[in-house]
Amino acid sequence: MPDSEQRLIADARRGSREARGELFALHWRDAWRTARAVCGDDQRAQDIAQEALVQAVTKLGRFDGRRPFGAWLRRIVVNQAIDTTRRDRRLIGLDAASDLAAEGFADWEPGLASAVRALPADRRALVALRYGLDLTPPEIAEAMGLQVGTVHSRLARALAELRQRLEVTDVR
């Protein structure tokens, strides 16, 4: 982590609004992109990234200063996005949730988009981070709090599930 960012974090811990603002400017865009990749919806991504940044800044006391702030923030964003996706499915129903998320997946080939949407939230996040944001397995492991080996095995399971789903045509 650069010295300047360490100084910002130290200042933000002491309550400096300017330091918080600079931390925000540094990480807001990446947080939003991560949230959008996982939840597939611009507006929900805004809420998720906003909540995650607020959480991160207000809980800076728990942050281990030896590690990169961006990776810590990404972990909060991913957890928030997974929680939001699960809650949406529970409250809205899968079909309507898919409709709401259509914008984020609008450019995907149709069968692929619905297969990815139908994955469980944590596997969908894995796929989004790996193939949507091109994160490496170690980066994903850090973002999701998993072992690297677990990332590999879960990715393999997610791909197998996708292949299986893609062989079946939806009938409505």
Partner 1 sequence: MVADLETRLRLARPAESEPTPEATDRALRALSRRRRGRARSAVAWVARTPRGRLLGVAVLLAAGGTGVAATLLPGGGGQAPPVDRGAVTAAWGPEFAVAPVFPRGEFPKPVAVMDTSGAVFVAWSRGRRIEVRRRPPGGPWEPTTRLSGIGVGTARPQVAFTDGGRAAVVVWRERIGGRVIRRVLRLPDGSVAGVIERRVGARYVVVARRWSTATGWGPRVQVSADSSGNRRDMADLAVLGRPGGAFLVAWPNRDRIQTRVLAADGGLTDVQEISPARAGEVADPVLVDRDGSPLLVFAHRERPVPSHDGTVLAVSADGTGWGRPVEVGAGLVLNERPVVATRGPRVVVAWASRSTGTHMGIMVSEQAGGRWSSAARISSPTREAFSPGAGLDRTGTAVVTWSVGAATQISTRLPAGSWTAPTGVSRAGLTGSLSPEANPVASTGDGDLVLALGARDGIRVADWRGGRLVRSVPAASSTGWQFGYSAIVAAPTGSAALLVTTYRAGRSGISVIVREPAGLGRDKEGR
Binding site for partner 1 (CB under 8 A): 17, 20-21, 24, 28-29, 32-33, 36-37, 40-47, 49-50, 53-54, 57, 87-88, 91-93, 95-96, 98-110, 112-113, 116, 127, 131-132, 134, 159, 162-163, 166, 172
Considering the complex, what minimum distance in angstroms separates the CB of residue 141 from partner 1?
18
Nearer to partner 1, 113 or 143 (CB): 113
List the one residue out of 71, 43, 70 whose CA is nearest residue 138. Answer: 71
Considering the complex, what minimum distance in angstroms separates the CB of residue 79 from partner 1?
16
Considering the complex, what minimum distance in angstroms separates the CB of residue 22 from partner 1?
11
Considering the complex, what minimum distance in angstroms separates the CB of residue 7 from partner 1?
18
Query: CA–CA separation, 125 vs 120, rounded Å?
Result: 9
Query: CA–CA separation, 103 vs 108, rounded Å?
Result: 10
Nearer to partner 1, 87 or 145 (CB): 87
Residue 159 CB contacts under 8 Å (≥ 6 apart), including other chains: 127
- 69 within 8 A of 27, measured Cβ to Cβ: yes
For the residues of 43-66, what is the DSSP string, one character each?
Answer: HHHHHHHHHHHHHHHHTGGG--TT
Looking at residue 119, the DSSP 8-state letter turns out to be S
Nearer to partner 1, 3 or 61 (CB): 61
Nearer to partner 1, 100 or 146 (CB): 100
Separation of CA 21 from chain center? 22
Query: CA–CA separation, 39 vs 16, rounded Å?
Result: 32
Considering the complex, what minimum distance in angstroms separates the CB of residue 93 from partner 1?
4
Nearer to partner 1, 106 or 168 (CB): 106
